[in-house]
Amino acid sequence: GGAKLVRDRDMLAGAVNFLLTNEVARHEMMAAGIATVDEMRGALARTLKSLEPYIQPLVVKSRLKGANGR
């Protein structure tokens, strides 16, 4: 994967040392991280688009309520 879970500073130091001394593993981890970010590209826009049918009626209702309250 593109991330490594570490429990403490010793484990972090070992993981960093491993990546600094192992070019293949380092590049594999970088590629996995890039792939993950690429997969998530546009997630916010897709989420908002799928929520739009539910949000729009609430916006209209709120505006109507505000107009009637004046």
User: Is the separation of the CB atoms in 5 and 39 below 8 Å?
Assistant: no
The model carries a pTM of 0.61
What is the tens place of the pLDDT at every residue in 36-70?
A: 999 999 999 999 999 999 999 999 999 998 888 65
Q: What is the DSSP string of 3-61?
A: ----SSHHHHHHHHHHHHH-HHHHHHHHHHHHHHHHHHTTHHHHHHHHHHHHHHHHHHH
As given in the structure block, the two tokens for residue 1 are: 């994967």
What is the tens place of the pLDDT at every residue in 14-44?
A: 999 999 999 999 999 999 999 999 999 999 9
